[in-house]
């Protein structure tokens, strides 16, 4: 019997943000563009449910696709946009309560409004977490002005999913090689760096109950823990963290399998973080669900570990019961 599966990095868009898809689609092969176009928009929930039924996904946790609200420069407009997105997501969840949950979209550019929208999304709309699509117009969320949002997330006991976004500037060593800038390499470094900024800023000492989720097997973080601790101890600096850096990865971070169907990466992440810190995800529709399902069912892990990764950990962290 197949293992129950909850996937948690499953993207949607709406009319307000569809222009991002239109800009992205020409950069990929037509067959993948056609697949995305038929599934990403909230209007295509029926096709999404058909795929879930056929491919063995019990529940998807929906979130607004990157860059989402982070793309809106005006603080007031961002707050209004987030409210509309969260209302739309809640409508889809209410129509299919056994199949969907949602993560809230927040106007991080307006931290006070973001904290209030987070509370509304969780307490009134039933959101189970927050989707944060990287920096907000170059501002990373370790900055002190974002602390009210983090404080509210800890108080509400909901995780924040730290999702990739295009780097704010340019990498000279990637010039002429666009393959390095996006999902194959650059996005992981960008997102992993954002997490380490949160660690080094003392965020998790201030709010030790926070949980941040990183996709794609932890965006390089699980593979760097020993060296990060070792070099951190050597560097002359004034950061007075309560613990060595790896502690925060093992206590405040969870990793998902989204977009990485690799036994080697899974076993390394499992050894680095522990089974209880890994969540199954497909990254639908940017990845094929069937590929993720077939891989996790055959992965060289125990039945108990497979159950935890595929649904048990998600039920715990998102309080899905």
Catalytic residue ranges: 283
Q: How far apart are CA 193 and CA 215, in angstroms?
A: 13
In the chain, count of helices (H) and strands (E)?
14, 8
Q: How many residues does the chain have?
A: 321
> Helices 289-298 and 45-55, interaxial angle, to 10°?
20
Give Cα separations from 235 to 77, 83, 228 (angstroms).
42, 44, 11
Q: How far apart are CA 247 and CA 152, in angstroms?
A: 23
Q: Is the dihedral of CA 288, 293, 298, 301 positive or negative?
A: positive
The full DSSP string for 129-187 is: EEEE-S-BTTB-TTSGGGHHHHHHHHHHT--EEE-----SS--GGGTT-GGGTSTTTHH
CB atoms within 10 A of CB 261: 20
Give Cα separations from 169 to 163, 181, 226 (angstroms).
17, 11, 29
Residue identified by tokens 């038929």 is 38
The residues with which 278 forms a beta bridge, in sequence order, are: 255
SS3 content of the chain, % helix, strand, coil (to 5): 55, 10, 35
The residues with which 254 forms a beta bridge, in sequence order, are: 213
Question: Which of helix, strand or coil describes residue 161?
Answer: strand
Q: How far apart are CA 281 and CA 9, in angstroms?
A: 6
DSSP category for residue 212: E
Give Cα separations from 164 to 63, 89, 131 (angstroms).
13, 21, 10
């Amino acid at each position: 019997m197949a293992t129950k599966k909850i996937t948690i990095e499953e993207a949607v868009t709406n009319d307000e943000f569809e222009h991002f898809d239109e800009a992205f689609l020409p950069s990929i092969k037509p067959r993948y563009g056609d697949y995305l176009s038929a599934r990403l928009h909230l209007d295509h929930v029926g096709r999404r449910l058909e795929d879930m039924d056929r491919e063995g996904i019990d529940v998807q946790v929906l979130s607004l696709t990157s860059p989402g609200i982070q793309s809106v420069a005006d603080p007031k407009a961002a707050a209004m946009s987030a409210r509309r997105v969260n209302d739309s997501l809640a409508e889809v969840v209410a129509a299919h309560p056994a199949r969907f949950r949602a993560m809230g979209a927040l106007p991080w550019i307006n931290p006070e409004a973001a904290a209030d929208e987070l509370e509304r999304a969780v307490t009134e709309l039933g959101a189970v977490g927050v989707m944060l699509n990287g920096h907000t117009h170059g501002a990373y969320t370790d900055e002190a002005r974002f602390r009210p949002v983090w404080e509210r997330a800890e108080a509400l006991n909901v995780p924040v999913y730290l999702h990739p976004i295009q780097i704010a500037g340019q990498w000279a060593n990637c010039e002429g090689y666009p393959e390095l800038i996006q999902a194959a390499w650059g996005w992981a470094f960008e997102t992993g760096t954002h997490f380490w900024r949160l660690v080094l800023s003392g965020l998790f000492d201030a709010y030790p109950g926070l949980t941040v989720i990183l996709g794609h097997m932890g965006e390089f973080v699980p593979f760097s823990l020993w060296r990060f601790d070792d070099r951190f101890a050597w560097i002359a600096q004034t950061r007075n963290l309560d613990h060595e850096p790896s502690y925060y990865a093992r206590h405040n971070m969870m990793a998902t399998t989204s977009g990485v169907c690799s036994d080697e990466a899974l076993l390394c992440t499992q050894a680095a973080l522990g089974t209880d810190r890994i969540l199954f995800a497909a990254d639908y529709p940017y990845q094929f669900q069937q590929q993720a399902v077939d891989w996790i069912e055959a992965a060289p892990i125990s039945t108990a570990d497979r159950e935890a990764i595929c649904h048990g950990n998600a039920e715990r962290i998102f309080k899905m019961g």
